[in-house]
Amino acid sequence: MAVRQIEAAIDALRAMDLAAPERARVAALAALEAAIHEQNVFLHAVAHDLRNPLTAILGQVQLLQRSARKADGAGVDAERVLRTAVGIEASVSRMATLIDSVLDTGWEVGAGRMDELGAGGVERSAS
């Protein structure tokens, strides 16, 4: 939803005549900033929801590794358990990196849109 709002606000700013009243430009910029804020809130929620299970998995892997080290020689193939745990840990790390990459891209897109329009140069008048 926020992406469509951002696109609409960008289109409105691009279509705006340079001689358009300052108030119209400020309103369009405010709509764009609100849409980008909504997108950032969404991305933050996604990041939280995606990282939480990874944290739980990583914690369980660490417990498994400790248990395997303690149980070595007690009929447990500790080496196999540790190899499996290392594989799971590597997968969690890759998934965390992918999540970070996707979210960074989302935040960069939002920030880049503002830079692309030179929106930082539009001053808001006191109304």
pLDDT by residue (tens digit) across 78-127?
788 888 888 898 999 898 888 888 777 776 665 555 455 444 443 333 33
Which residue range(s) make up the domain with 47? 2-121
User: Would residue 94 count as lying in a domain?
Assistant: yes
Q: Is residue 126 part of a domain?
A: no
Is residue 88 within 8 Å of 31, Cβ to Cβ?
Answer: no
In 3-state terms, what secondary structure has residue 72?
strand
pTM of the full structure: 0.52
Number of independent structural domains in the chain: 1
Check residues 119 and 17 and name the one with the higher pLDDT: 17
* CB-CB contact of 42 with 84 (8 Å): no
Residue 127 covered by a domain: no
